[in-house]
Structure 1
């Protein structure tokens, strides 16, 4: 099986339980870049979690103004820089962040969508007026494998409380509940990702 065959499979494998497909423009970009199959599977797992979070936001925070499409595209492309820095697919490193942002810009992606490749890991340095979208993508990138980051979640809770007018503790409890439920699917997502090699 060729690299391209494995990539196509990673992009279209329904998963068990199901893993949502990437937005078409993100999937097409990964094909153009000949992305490693492992990367495509990882992006699908994080995108699937971002989709669940967006559904939750729509249902529980109808007054929150945010760009759902940006969240989903950001989650679907946040690690695209690992096409260039493939060692970071299986090891630590942050070189993929700015490389990913630049790669997206070079392929005609608007700056407001390309930014997630850089901000998903630098959420603690977001400017005060940054949208909630960056925090949602960053949370999705953690909780897909059931990793909880208190400082990150507190930033999101503060934004949610500011939008809803509810008490911070109420927002904390609600967010904790959805993240706990999403986290319960981590083993299946890790298995889905692990079924695809970094290289064929």
Structure 2
């Protein structure tokens, strides 16, 4: 029965409708017998990441960023919770390194596997704009605002656009406020799926 719930979490349109995960990621979650709640969570964050990259590309065509990497990173950032399912309903960071290692073992490049770790720490010297967008998606899907993280995004946008930080802040704030309005429905979608792994 939980196998059916995993498939449903991967394919149910949701309300509001959520984009499906990339086929490669959906296959990986099925192969791992991932908890249905993990699939639902990854879909919610992946959908929000789509909104962020679409907005960024429209408003800021100059900043060069890897759209596909952001979307893959959002779709896999918590994949380590398939190994540490207790972290789906409680605190913990063991899933970060476990997720990176799991992705590397599946033949995913280090460039893409890194998001499993960087989604929770965005102040390192090697953190790129793509990492920041994945981190924002992982927060704003549930309407959590992190000023330090958002300031880093605003700084990158300001550097790329030549606009003032205030202009970039207001534009980003409007976007995140709009995305945040759907948080209750995304949270309900995620909560409708169990943490138990498929049998």
TM-score (norm 2): 0.97
- How far has the Cα of 1:17 moved from its partner? 1.6
- How far has the Cα of 1:3 moved from its partner? 2.1
Measure, in 2, the Cα distance between the counterparts of 1:30 and 1:169.
41
Question: Does residue 117 of structure 1 match 2:120?
Answer: no
Higher relative contact order (CA 8 A, sep 6+): 2
- How far has the Cα of 1:110 moved from its partner? 0.6
- How far has the Cα of 1:130 moved from its partner? 3.3
Q: Which residue in the other structure is 1:180 paired with?
A: 177
Match of 1:160 among 157, 161, 167: 157
Measure, in 2, the Cα distance between the counterparts of 1:108 and 1:193.
28
User: How many residues in Structure 1 have an aligned counterpart in Structure 2?
Assistant: 197
Q: How does 1:1-200 map to 2 (within 5 A)?
A: 2-124=1-123, 126-127=124-125, 130-199=127-196
TM-score (norm 1): 0.97
- How far has the Cα of 1:94 moved from its partner? 0.5
Contiguous gaps of at least 5 residues in structure 1? none
Measure, in 1, the Cα distance between the counterparts of 2:183 and 2:165.
27
Contiguous gaps of at least 5 residues in structure 2? none
- The Cα RMSD (Å) is 0.9
